Amino acid sequence: MKIVSWNVNSLKVRLPALLTWMKTVKPEIIALQETKLVDAEFPMSAFTELGYHAYCSGQKTYNGMALITRDNPCSEIVVDMPQFADIQRRLLAATWNGYRVINVYVPNGSELTSEKYQYKLAWLAAFEKFMQDQLAKYEKVIVLGDFNIAPTDLDVHDPKIWQNCVLVSEPERSALQKIVNLGLKDLYREIKPTGQDFTWWDYRAGAFRRNNGLRIDLVLASLPLLSSAQDYWIDKTVRADERPSDHAPVVVEFLE
């Protein structure tokens, strides 16, 4: 079973590239972030024609989530966290074939002095409570998406440049750690303890060519799933294509 997380930075722009890629990789589950489409504009038939079911929670211009699943539909779909009223569409959780899949687009935070940074920390605190509940209810849990947090300096091309910046700051890293400590593992680190593969590269300054990137797109899994996680890769070829997203898709393969 292959599961994918990809921040597409506009599904409208990236749809042809996504469909081509899907036909090659044939994942069972695809979690998208930053679709930037209201639900009425979601390209449902493009996915159903390929034998997929698709679920979306979008808004105009910003954010927006989708979950696309092969063959079988999803149930128990959740797009809001209890006690965290939010117009920003950043969550889409669903159950597929016994897997609880939780797709997230964690706020960026802008800069440490910004109100948006406080919103990021509040969102993460609410998400911790949400995950506590989800892990109590479900056994096979996969949390994936754009976390907008590089877990450690090993996930940063140049920690000196990024020192004291949003995406690496201590409060957000410890907020992520608290969520992981509920009973999840960062699968990339499990599989590649000293690896330094990135998932995002700035569009500017030849960052991709220089491999100046960050690992901010993560796949976390509950402990019962650890032994079945077989492979993990970040598809950099897509980032090198014409008109790419600034994020590469991450793929995890589980034994059925």
Active site residues: 105, 146
For DNA, give the closer residue by CB, 206 or 224: 206
Contact between 214 and DNA by CB under 7 A: the answer reads yes
Least spacing, CB of residue 147 vs DNA, in Å: 10
Least separation in angstroms between residue 96's CB and DNA is: 25
Which stretches within 74-169 are classed as H helix? 115-137, 159-162
Q: Is 153 in the site for DNA (CB under 7 A)?
A: no
Please give the Cα distance from 6 to 19 (Å, whole number). 13
Contact status: 84 vs DNA (CB under 7 A): no
Per rule CB under 7 A, is residue 61 in the interface with DNA? Answer: yes
The answer for residues whose C-beta is within 8 angstroms of residue 116's C-beta and 6 or more apart is 107, 108, 109, 110
CA distance linking residue 12 with residue 66, whole number of Å: 13
Closest approach of DNA to the CB of residue 239, in Å: 11
96 close to 69: Cβ distance less than 8 angstroms: yes
Q: Which of 27, 58, 107, 249 binds DNA (CB under 7 A)?
A: 107
- Give the DSSP per-residue string, 156-201: BS-HHHHTT-TTT-HHHHHHHHHHHTTTEEEHHHHH-TT----SEE
Interface with DNA (CB under 7 A), residue total: 28
Which of 122, 44, 22, 31 is closest to 77 using CA atoms? 31
Stretch that binds DNA, among 132-140, 182-190, 197-205, 220-228 (CB under 7 A): 197-205
What is the CA angle 22-23-25, rounded to 5? 60
In the complex, the smallest distance separating the C-beta of residue 72 from DNA, rounded to whole angstroms, is 29
Q: Is 69 in the site for DNA (CB under 7 A)?
A: no
Which member of 26, 116, 137, 192 binds DNA (CB under 7 A)? 116
Q: Other CB atoms closer than 10 Å to residue 159's CB: what's the count?
A: 14
Give the residue with the Cβ less far from DNA, 95 or 108: 108
Please select the residue that binds DNA; options are 83, 204, 209, 227, rule is CB under 7 A.
204
Q: Is 180 exposed, middle or buried (0-12, 13-18, 19+ CB in 10 A)?
A: middle
C-beta of 34 vs 186, nearer to DNA: 34
Residues that bind DNA (CB under 7 A): 7, 9-10, 12-13, 34, 36, 60-62, 107-108, 110, 116, 146, 148, 166-167, 200, 202-205, 214, 216, 243, 246-247
